[in-house]
């Protein structure tokens, strides 16, 4: 039997990186190709434990580079594409939207064309609940796969645009696809610009934690490994053309999340600093994952255990995040926040 070739884009980032490790270890019979441009958000040091494995390969490339992507697909003839590569941070999309259109929209289209040319068996597009816009603070309402797309930030608008292209390639050219729309992830190797790792790293350094607005906005948190198992299932079992929402019913206000971390680390809540709100800040996200559960998926982490393990991971892996926050990140942080 010939080995299956899986292309994972964005496999040097947070979720793609966890997914690459999950797949390399779980499926020795598959060849896993990690394609990544290694932007500020990507690094290969996280893959030390797999870099010598025979079923792991790395390609440095830009998904929007049509020539390179086309020739790579012609050479390798991938069976499956799992597409994570993206500009992923909402705040950066507010200050610099152009690169979000370039990577998230045009880059996705290049990958779709290349996938169509070599007849990939399935293109799994990793999207986000943010394409649905925001929910009110009514706990009985959830995003379902039928919720209309109403993206509010340049980031979510670029993701929604890519979702629509993926859908169109399925309808027009018959390219087999699935789209997953997941809620907020947390766990190992989360880049410290995002709320949870930013809070952990700053609290550990006794620095103030910026909380936007009144801190009452709600996010629905899922451990990254539960997201990986969801994508694994959708890649193998997802019905062609279908969208699957991914979430584990873990809604928390931002203030609750920050206070939980401060408490776990035994520090003072005086580290919290309320700062100017994010422009167009979505109030609440909450996922109804019934459709994916019907396919056979169940999350394994509850938030309390998951966050405690994540904090421990950041304590055990200081060298990883310290080398990030000591570089260009400082310039980003100083431009982004006015904080005492
Ligand atoms: P991330 O920012 O940590 O990683 C993105 C990766 O993509 C990086 O390794 C980066 O180098 C790479 N990349 C960026 N531009 C590229 C390009 N032009 N060509 C090739 N590689 C490029 O992102 P993440 O948080 O791991 O998110 C991964 C995907 O999951 C994204 O598509 C995001 O929209 C989606 N998603 C994220 C979350 C979340 O909570 N983080 C939730 C739902 C969906
Ligand atoms: O919902 C899925 C999305 O989750 C993904 O599609 C995005 O790629 C991912 O970045 C994430 O987006 P959010 O904007 O929800 O995540 P972020 O960690 O940036 O912010 C979480 C919440 O915390 C949000 O309400 C804004 C708030 N926040 C964030 C930062 C960085 C603060 O209050 N202070 C901060 O410093």
With bands split at pLDDT 50, 70 and 90, how would you rate the model's confidence at 1?
low
Lining ligand 1 with CB less than 6 A are 9-10, 12-16, 36-39, 41-42, 62-64, 84-88, 103, 107, 126, 128, 159, 182, 184-185, 191
- Measured in Å, residue 186 CA sits from the centre of ligand 1 at 13
| Per-residue pLDDT reduced to its tens digit, 214-237 | 999 999 999 999 999 999 999 999
Distance 17 CA to ligand 1 centre (A): 9
Q: Is the pLDDT of residue 255 over 80?
A: yes
User: pLDDT at position 327, please?
Assistant: 81
pLDDT score of 41: 98
**pLDDT number for residue 2:** 80
> Of 36, 34, 31, 3, whose CA–CA distance to 20 is shortest?
34
Helices (H), the chain: 14-26, 66-76, 90-95, 98-100, 108-117, 154-173, 195-204, 224-237, 254-264, 290-295, 303-316, 318-325, 329-336
Rounded average pLDDT over 92-99: 98
Whether the predicted pLDDT of 12 surpasses 80 = yes
- Rounded percentage of the chain residues whose pLDDT exceeds 90: 96
Say if residues 183 and 230 touch (Cβ distance below 8 Å). no
| Residue 166 pLDDT > 80 | yes
Residue 35, classed as helix, strand or coil, is: strand
C-alpha separations of 264 from 9, 66, 125, 254, 327 in Å: 34, 47, 35, 16, 27
Q: Report pLDDT digits (tens) over 21-38.
A: 999 999 999 999 999 999
ipTM: 0.99
User: What tens digit of pLDDT does each residue of 169-188 get?
Assistant: 999 999 999 999 999 999 99
Helix (H) or strand (E) holding 222: strand 218-223
Mind listing the domains of the chain with CATH numbers?
A: 4-185+222-246 (3.40.50.720)
Band (328; pLDDT cuts 50, 70, 90): confident
CA–centroid distance, residue 31 to ligand 1 (Å): 21
């Amino acid at each position: 039997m010939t080995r299956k070739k899986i292309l994972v884009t964005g496999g040097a980032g947070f979720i793609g990186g966890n997914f690459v490790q999950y797949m390399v270890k779980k499926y020795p019979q598959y060849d896993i190709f990690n394609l990544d441009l290694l932007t500020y958000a990507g690094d290969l040091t996280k893959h030390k434990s797999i870099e010598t494995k025979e079923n792991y390969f790395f390609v440095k490339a830009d998904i929007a580079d049509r020539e390179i992507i086309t020739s790579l697909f012609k050479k390798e003839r991938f069976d499956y594409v799992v597409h994570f590569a993206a500009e992923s941070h909402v705040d950066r999309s507010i200050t610099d939207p152009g690169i979000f259109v370039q990577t998230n929209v045009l880059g996705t289209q290049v990958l779709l064309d290349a996938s169509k040319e070599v007849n990939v068996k399935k293109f799994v597009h990793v999207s986000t609940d943010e394409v649905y816009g925001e929910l009110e603070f009514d706990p009985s309402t959830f995003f379902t796969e039928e919720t209309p797309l109403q993206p509010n930030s340049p980031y979510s608008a670029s993701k929604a645009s890519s979702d629509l292209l993926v859908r169109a390639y399925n309808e027009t050219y018959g390219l087999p696809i699935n789209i997953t729309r997941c809620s907020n992830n947390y766990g190992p190797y989360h880049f410290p610009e995002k709320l949870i790792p930013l809070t952990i790293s700053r609290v550990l350094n006794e620095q103030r934690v910026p909380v936007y607005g009144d801190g009452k906005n709600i996010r629905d948190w899922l451990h990254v490994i539960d997201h990986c198992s969801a994508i694994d299932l959708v890649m193998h079992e997802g019905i062609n053309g279908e969208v699957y929402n991914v979430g584990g019913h873990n809604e928390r206000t931002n203030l609750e999340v920050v206070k939980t971390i401060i408490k776990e680390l035994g520090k003072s809540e005086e580290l919290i600093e309320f700062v100017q709100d994010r422009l167009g800040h979505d109030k609440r996200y909450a996922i109804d994952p019934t459709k994916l559960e019907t396919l056979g998926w169940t999350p394994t982490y509850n938030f309390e255990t998951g966050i405690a393990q994540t904090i421990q991971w950041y304590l055990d892996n200081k060298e990883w995040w310290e080398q990030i926050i000591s570089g260009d990140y400082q310039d980003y942080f100083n431009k982004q926040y006015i904080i005492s």
